[in-house]
Structure 1
């Protein structure tokens, strides 16, 4: 029994040595970090802590880059939908061609719906322009917004183009107006940390002043198309002219907003590059710290295997020994 126990213990020990050497030969790293570093884990712990933090920043920068790229795409969609509309509305309103103007008004109403749909764009399960309430849509539908505007205009008794414009402007600026009825999101999500030194602000929401000005102009044209609060065609033409002028002026503001987002994208890319470079340098330092000599590991594995084979041979011989074989 003592001999069996001893043989088993030696077999287990040799197997462990062979497996450890094989692991080190395969990975290139020491299997016993404490022994490799002589018990001083200070530097290794610092490296691991920094690498863990950089891994978190990598996730943050990847998420920020995806969000910023998607936002820039939405800005491009909105700009494409509204870029030439202001000038076209002004031209049609001044041409005294009712059919062409009506066709353009209908088109503007459809573009209004498309802009609202663009503001409800999602990346994964998060709505881009809904602030912290990103689990739902950012803005309400066309009918909800226009119905609320019609009720507000009727309540104000607005009948001239100037009065209707003032009522629409007031509704979009009033916290009890667009922010309460048309905007379904929450406050801005604020800035995001993307490195130890850098933060980016991707807190653009559908209540951004530039977005609201664009929506206001499109809503005015859509109201003309519905006709409920526009007393006559002459007033409708004046409203279209006002909306066209506003859209034309708002184009540069949208360009500046896209440029602001572009600068945030550039900062994200720079942070990604720096974080990756630091990660690579630290991973190299960790490798140098834990690296083993492959020749030495292979030698130990070969020695352990040879000893194990010898032990198996001795065990087999011992198991065949019988007293009766010597008494014959």
Structure 2
């Protein structure tokens, strides 16, 4: 027969020693009830943890595309609104050109208005969303277009002076034959709005548009740039009327300038519509990609829930059971503390 020594201290410490384990189980049950997820995936899933990690990484990857697409959609919407503004301005200019007459002061007023349209176009092409320039193309960190007074104006004046021997602002401009002025516009002047003259004088933008990934398998163009033919033609039309001495022109020379500007403006407006259509296609593709990825997210999320989620009722039952055990442990410890052999002497 074997006997063991039982002391009051042993009896007191027995329920107390179970408290750390019970408190750990209480924390686990409380966390699972609050989050609806297993507290320790590795312990609960074992080898299935690898699948959970893979699915979580897939969700993060898809979500990055969705978030990036949201930013791209906002940029495209702003670009579309800007292109609409350009078309409205071009239409107004076209109407002014159609209504011009040789009445005293009419061409001078038109020259001033054309300068306003030119400067507005320059400002529009230099719009930024705070991070990059909308019309910079791949070179979105650089201001796309120089203001007329920052270089292009002087270069055009030099070319005019070289050809005719006086500046465009000189009243002698009115004596230039229409044929000579047209030859200058078609050659020296047009060269400032064609490559390489456009990039050398006006533009620091890239002719390559931004190309962005909208899903793991698809990349699309998501911008326009200041080197698009539409922008150059509108700039040429506005600059032609504003910077070639229009206020001094009369007769066939004035008529030639107006007709050339009308033709450029009409073509530029049509090409703006083509740019809007191209960007609209990109917007539709982003919406389609987002719709497909959202369905993928739903499927992956359901699989993750199946792996990681806990039954709320079961978690609540375990929490109540552990809480009761802890209360019993405290109660039992208190009872033992009150026990004394003196009570039985």
- TM exceeds 0.5? yes
> Do structure 1's residue 23 and structure 2's residue 31 form an aligned pair?
yes
Bigger CA drift: 20-29 or 146-155?
A: 146-155
In 2, distance between residues paired with 1:301 and 1:293?
Answer: 12
Q: 1:199 maps to what in 2? A: 219
Correspondent of 1:124 among 124, 130, 148: 130
* Alignment CA distance shift 1:97-1:88 (3 Å): same
* Alignment CA distance shift 1:41-1:225 (3 Å): farther
* Alignment CA distance shift 1:236-1:96 (3 Å): closer
Q: How many aligned positions are there?
A: 321
In 2, distance between residues paired with 1:247 and 1:3?
Answer: 99
Q: Verify the 8 A CA contact 1:87 1:244 in the aligned structure 2.
A: no
Q: Verify the 8 A CA contact 1:214 1:250 in the aligned structure 2.
A: yes
> Do structure 1's residue 220 and structure 2's residue 269 form an aligned pair?
no
Q: Verify the 8 A CA contact 1:72 1:258 in the aligned structure 2.
A: yes
> Do structure 1's residue 89 and structure 2's residue 97 form an aligned pair?
yes
How far residue 309 of structure 1 moved from its aligned partner, in angstroms, is 0.6
How well do the aligned residues superpose, as a CA RMSD in angstroms? 2.6
Q: 1:153 maps to what in 2? A: 160
How far residue 205 of structure 1 moved from its aligned partner, in angstroms, is 1.0
Q: 1:100 maps to what in 2? A: 106
How far residue 189 of structure 1 moved from its aligned partner, in angstroms, is 4.9
Unaligned runs of 5+ residues in structure 2 are 1-8, 166-175
Q: 2:121 maps to what in 1? A: 115
How far residue 326 of structure 1 moved from its aligned partner, in angstroms, is 4.9
Q: Verify the 8 A CA contact 2:136 2:144 in the aligned structure 1.
A: yes
* Alignment CA distance shift 1:191-1:321 (3 Å): same
Bigger CA drift: 58-67 or 155-164?
A: 155-164
Q: 2:6 maps to what in 1? A: none
Q: Verify the 8 A CA contact 2:233 2:267 in the aligned structure 1.
A: no
TM-score, normalised with respect to structure 2: 0.83
* Alignment CA distance shift 1:226-1:91 (3 Å): closer
Larger radius of gyration: 2
Q: Verify the 8 A CA contact 2:16 2:333 in the aligned structure 1.
A: no
Q: 1:139 maps to what in 2? A: 145
Q: Verify the 8 A CA contact 1:14 1:308 in the aligned structure 2.
A: yes
In 2, distance between residues paired with 1:295 and 1:278?
Answer: 29
Q: Verify the 8 A CA contact 1:190 1:203 in the aligned structure 2.
A: yes
TM-score, normalised with respect to structure 1: 0.87
In 1, distance between residues paired with 2:278 and 2:87?
Answer: 15
Q: Verify the 8 A CA contact 2:207 2:227 in the aligned structure 1.
A: no
Unaligned runs of 5+ residues in structure 1 are none
How far residue 116 of structure 1 moved from its aligned partner, in angstroms, is 1.1
How far residue 102 of structure 1 moved from its aligned partner, in angstroms, is 2.5
Bigger CA drift: 153-162 or 128-137?
A: 153-162
Q: 1:170 maps to what in 2? A: 191
In 2, distance between residues paired with 1:191 and 1:46?
Answer: 28
Q: Verify the 8 A CA contact 2:145 2:202 in the aligned structure 1.
A: yes
In 1, distance between residues paired with 2:324 and 2:280?
Answer: 64
How far residue 194 of structure 1 moved from its aligned partner, in angstroms, is 0.3
* Alignment CA distance shift 1:154-1:200 (3 Å): same
